[in-house]
């Protein structure tokens, strides 16, 4: 009976109800968009840095991550191959031999992070072939090497040109060679694009004089979870000889930056929800004031205050529920549009993002949790504010209210 009465009362004054409903819908849409943009931007940044090169789990020799020198390279032997065979079928290992070299063209030199890798395994992990913007992806040794597009611009090199590399190899051997460039890659991380170069693992092992050795094994968790794979590797491998690190351990500064940004957003959300709450409170206050005469009449004819309070509470609750659902539904196309057409920054903002190695593109996140959480928060706010009419009704004196 009270539910039916509340439903009818909602539509007795359509303008008031629509104003209340619109304020709730706008609140849900605005908060959802802000949350999805923040989460989507960070997911994109992390994916750029982690998926484009580091991988979600890595295996090194003990102490390598703190002192990344090629002399800490270890033998990629049958024992590690057996470990890979014991892992779930979806998990694979990508062997890499990494060290810095001096890259030179005719008139320019730049520091280069040279990576020797298995082309097929690397492509399966990072999708490197899909990031080739010019030339071809070398599948076998002797087919040339890849360089980042930022490095290509700095050295003024293109596909078919030759890059000269000079470095110090394993245990101090001289390392020098010249290699044809078969392709240019864009990783989406400006800092990595300015320094990265790839060649086949056998060529890199010959160049550095480190036959049979690798500096790291990037782990592709496949369909599994990185944390579970990390835990499994730590129980399988000799941790006194190897270190197994998740991407959170590899890049703690990225986590700290995300936590700092999220903390700042919590302040913004608090202010936003405060504005939203005042907006909804204003409409509820208006509704209570306009219906004061009605409340007085109902109490005068014998309706109990509790029943009247619950009736009005149900009105606001239904408006809050419908508004939250409508806002959630209407925010889907908005968020989806900016997922397909992300915000692209230019100028000073883009330059500042590139200094931290991030591509200046902010897509939105379409995780269901984003929509549900914001709708739930606004619904809880509405439910709490709906207590005001109950308090108002508890203090009404029927005769005074009817005179007004």
Q: Tell me the backbone φ, ψ of residue 48, rounded to 5 degrees.
A: -60, -45
Is pLDDT of 56 > 90? Answer: no
Q: Half-sphere exposure (CA, 13 Å, Cβ side) for 237?
A: 26
Per-residue pLDDT at 404: 61
Same domain, 89 and 30: no
Which ranges of 128-251 does DSSP label H, i.e. alpha helix? 149-155, 190-193, 201-208, 226-236, 247-250
pLDDT above 90 as % of the chain: 24
Domain assignment present for residue 237? The answer is: no
> Is the domain of 45 the same as that of 67?
no
| Count of domains for the chain | 2
> Residue 225 domain-assigned?
no
Do 148 and 11 reside in the same domain of the chain? Answer: no
Rounded to an integer, what distance in angstroms lies between the CA atom of residue 220 and that of residue 128? 14
pLDDT at 383 over 70: yes
DSSP letter string, 154-168:
HHT--TT-EEEEEEE
Mean pLDDT for the stretch of residues 139-161: 91
Whether 241 maps to a domain, the answer reads no
From the number of C-beta atoms within 10 Å of its C-beta (0-12, 13-18, 19+), residue 206 rates as middle
**73 and 15 belong to one structural domain:** no
- CA nearest 24: which of 393, 402, 375? 375
CA torsion angle for 310, 312, 313, 315 (degrees, to 10)?
120
Are residues 161 and 181 in contact, defined by beta-carbon separation less than 8 angstroms?
A: yes
Q: Residue 207's pLDDT is what?
A: 95
pLDDT at 237 over 70: yes
Flag whether pLDDT at 326 surpasses 60: yes
Residues near 333 by Cβ (< 8 Å), separated by ≥ 6?
none
**In the predicted model, is pLDDT for residue 354 greater than 80?**
no
- On whether both 66 and 213 belong to a single domain, the answer is yes
Predicted local confidence at residue 218, as pLDDT: 87
Quote the domain boundaries for residue 380: 2-50+254-403
pTM recorded for the entire structure = 0.66
226 in a domain, yes or no? no
Instruction: Categorize the per-residue pLDDT at 5 as very low, low, confident or very high, splitting at 50, 70 and 90.
Output: low
Measured between alpha carbons, how far is 221 from 50 in angstroms, rounded to an integer?
13
């Amino acid at each position: 009976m009270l539910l039916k009465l509340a439903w009818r009362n909602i539509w007795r004054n359509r303008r008031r109800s629509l104003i209340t409903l619109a304020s709730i819908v706008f609140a849900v849409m605005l908060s959802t968009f802000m949350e999805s943009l923040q989460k989507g931007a960070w997911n994109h940044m992390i994916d750029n840095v982690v998926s484009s090169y580091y991988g979600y789990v890595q295996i090194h020799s003990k102490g390598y991550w703190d002192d990344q020198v090629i002399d800490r390279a270890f033998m990629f032997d049958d024992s590690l191959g057996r470990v890979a065979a014991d892992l779930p079928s979806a998990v694979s290992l990508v062997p890499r031999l990494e060290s810095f070299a001096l890259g030179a063209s005719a008139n320019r030199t730049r520091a280069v992070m040279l990576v020797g890798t298995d082309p097929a395994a690397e492509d399966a992990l990072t999708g490197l072939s899909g990031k080739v913007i010019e030339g071809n992806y070398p599948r076998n040794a002797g087919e040339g090497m890849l360089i980042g597009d930022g490095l290509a611009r700095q050295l003024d090199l293109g596909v078919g040109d030759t890059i000269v590399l000079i470095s110090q190899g394993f245990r101090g051997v001289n390392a020098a060679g010249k290699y044809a460039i078969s392709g240019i890659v864009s990783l989406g991380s400006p800092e990595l694009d300015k320094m990265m170069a790839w060649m086949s693992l056998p060529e890199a092992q010959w160049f550095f004089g480190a036959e049979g050795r690798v500096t790291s094994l990037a782990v592709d968790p496949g369909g599994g979870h990185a944390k579970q794979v990390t835990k499994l590797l730590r129980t399988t491998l000799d941790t006194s000889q190897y270190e197994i690190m998740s991407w959170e351990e590899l890049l703690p500064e990225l986590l700290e930056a995300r936590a700092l940004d999220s903390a700042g957003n919590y302040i913004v959300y608090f202010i936003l929800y405060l504005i939203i709450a005042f907006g909804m409170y204003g409409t509820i206050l208006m509704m209570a004031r306009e219906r004061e005469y009605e409340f007085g009449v109902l109490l005068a004819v014998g309706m109990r205050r509790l029943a009247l309070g619950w009736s009005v509470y149900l009105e606001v609750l239904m408006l809050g529920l419908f508004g939250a659902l409508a806002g959630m539904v209407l925010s889907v196309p908005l968020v989806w549009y900016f997922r397909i057409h992300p915000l692209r920054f230019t100028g000073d903002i883009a330059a500042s993002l590139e200094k931290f190695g991030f591509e200046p593109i902010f897509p939105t996140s379409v995780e269901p949790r984003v929509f549900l959480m914001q709708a739930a928060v606004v619904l809880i706010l509405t439910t709490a504010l709906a207590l005001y009419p109950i308090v108002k009704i508890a203090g009404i004196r029927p005769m005074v209210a009817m005179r007004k």
